Structure 1
Amino acid sequence: MTEAILSVTHLNKRFKRQPVLQDVTFDCEPGRIIGLVGANGAGKTTIMKSILGLIRTEGAVTIAGQAMQFDRHPALAQVGALIEYPSLYPYLSGWDNLRLFARDQDVAAQIQALVTQFDMSDYIHRKARTYSLGMKQKLGIALAFLNHPQLVILDEPMNGLDPQGTKQLRDFIVAQKQQGVTLLISSHILGELQKLADDLVIIDHGRVIQRTTMAAALALTEHYVVVATEHDGQAKAALTAAGYQLAAGTPVKLLLAPDQSVADVLAVLQQQHITVTDVQHQDADLEQIVLTLLASSKA
């Protein structure tokens, strides 16, 4: 089994005697994207701050085999992060902000690559105080990936990004993963997270209620097929007679069991000489899955 690059073990935290984190435990394996999911106030940002040693927490955090402590954390040299909002020097340009945090002096090529990747060329030499929310977010993300970190922690990284910026970030994250970088990402934009995450850690009221892979989570949901035909009434009758479970409504929409295939459905219709004009798959999305899990945890 691959050794985890990040291990969080029995993390507990209280604010004014109120439990915020309760026995939070999970691992992050190298080269994977882990989605940290939960409602607002569930404890996601507190977990990330605990990992980075920004707040004192009971429990243990290990990064690349090194134990993290509140006042001693050499392992952070391998970590990049964006938590809540980018911390920028407002009277420095975006370029100078990047150069300031670069560990190597000769980093112009790396900075230029990040500037190009996130389409910041038009404003990178302007003072950061003049930036819009989206501009600041891009610069904060670039800072997180500066110095070639092996673990990157991103809290709501799509915040303030337009569709183009979101796609740029998504493509960059996938490319970083392919190079072996591990990413722990918290986002309320679950549709985007569904496209990225390999693993899921679902949090509710400071507790981990589910640790699973994205593939396993999606496999538990019902899978529907919507078939467009030239004779929907005949198609429904034929499929019902063949034992398929159809959803109510106008389209020919049927629940596909694990042992059934689209080819089987099409064969039934072909035998009845019913012409099929389109076939679409419909699966539950991550939002539905998370809502279901959160509801079941409260039952």
Structure 2
Amino acid sequence: MLNVQNLNIYYGRKQVIKEATFQIQPGEIVGLIGPNGAGKTTIMKTLLGLTKFTGTITFNHQPITANSHQPLQQVGALIENPAVYPFLSGRENLELYSQDTADMKRLINRLGMDTYIDEPAKAYSIGMKQKLGIALALLNKPKFVILDEPMNGLDIEATILIRQIIHEYAAQGTAFLISSHVLSELQKVMTSVIILNHHEIVMNVPIDQFKNAPVTQYQIKTLDNEAAAKILKANDIFYRRQNQSLFINIADIDQVQTILRHHQMMLRELVPVRKTFEQSIVEVLKEKLVDE
């Protein structure tokens, strides 16, 4: 659906995106991750034809250029802050862009905006404005949606709702490119991840690659953690206590089981602990920094 090849973007003489290449397929939910200033928003704006660039971008085999319009009729976007007219109601803002009244009404209902949709947008809370911005991005059943920090200002219930809606649209073939600093939320929706650092793509992989992260520790619980901790300490086994569990380095787990069994100490739990998604992302960014 979207094909980006050798994308380079300059602000004056400063290169802000270097040789970015990636593809997005129908129904794919791609997370765009990177530190502040890495170029995430710049890429999103460029995909909308808002900045000059070198390289090629095609959407459904149609080229996108700076100030292009035709290919973007099937693209929805929310970048930075929702672009709404404050003195118009939420409904009037949507009507400016809606081509399907039934679809607009369905979105209002699905996003739970019925009770305030006819109030002036200037009276909206941050979360209400964010929902309106997402509704604008999803109007007219787009084939591709770009969302920059879509969970900003949303409470837990609204965040869950947005996740559900993204999955619903993706199941119907809509592709998403989503940027967020809330990695735990992004991890729950995306099917693949693009990591930007120092203005270039340093990783572009399916999210499943992070689900198969290697085991780093084991979390154990015994019938008597206090006694178990004393036994481990006496045998010079490093452990870390957290809540009701002991955490053991992977290299020591066989020895730990042997020692505890020797002392007739029964294990109640033995759970492998893997790197979190956030830890894996930080490692990728650090590796790139060391390489440079």
Q: TM-score when scaled to structure 1? A: 0.84
Q: 1:81 to 1:230 in 2, by over 3 A?
A: same
Shift of 1:116: 2.3
Q: 1:274 to 1:59 in 2, by over 3 A?
A: same
SS of alignment partner, residue 188 of structure 2: helix
Partner of 1:19: 15
Shift of 1:16: 2.6
Partner of 2:55: 59
Return the alpha-carbon distance in structure 2 between the equivalents of residues 215 and 169 of structure 1.
22
5 Å-filtered alignment, 1:1-299, equals 5-104=1-100, 107-108=101-102, 110-232=103-225, 233=227, 248-250=239-241, 251-254=245-248, 274-278=265-269, 280=271, 282-299=273-290
Return the alpha-carbon distance in structure 2 between the equivalents of residues 114 and 132 of structure 1.
19
Equivalent pairs counted in the alignment come to 283
Return the alpha-carbon distance in structure 2 between the equivalents of residues 150 and 74 of structure 1.
14
Percentage of pairs with the same residue: 39
Shift of 1:56: 1.3
Shift of 1:161: 1.1
Q: 1:274 to 1:21 in 2, by over 3 A?
A: same
Q: 1:206 is matched by which residue type in structure 2?
A: H
User: Runs (4+) of structure 1 moved beyond 3 Å?
Assistant: 220-225, 231-238, 254-257, 268-282
Given that 1:235 and 1:274 are in contact with CA atoms closer than 8 Å, whether structure 2 keeps it comes out as no
Shift of 1:234: 5.2
Shift of 1:200: 0.8
Shift of 1:285: 2.0
Q: 1:47 to 1:249 in 2, by over 3 A?
A: same
Given that 2:239 and 2:248 are in contact with CA atoms closer than 8 Å, whether structure 1 keeps it comes out as no
Return the alpha-carbon distance in structure 1 between the equivalents of residues 29 and 249 of structure 2.
31
Return the alpha-carbon distance in structure 2 between the equivalents of residues 17 and 138 of structure 1.
38
Shift of 1:255: 5.2
Given that 1:118 and 1:138 are in contact with CA atoms closer than 8 Å, whether structure 2 keeps it comes out as yes
Alignment RMSD, CA only?
2.9
Deviations 1:68-112 (A, max 9, x none): 1223331212111111111112221101111221123xx13x223
Shift of 1:277: 4.1
Return the alpha-carbon distance in structure 2 between the equivalents of residues 273 and 29 of structure 1.
56
Shift of 1:203: 0.3
Given that 2:239 and 2:249 are in contact with CA atoms closer than 8 Å, whether structure 1 keeps it comes out as no
Q: 1:115 is matched by which residue type in structure 2?
A: I
Shift of 1:142: 0.7
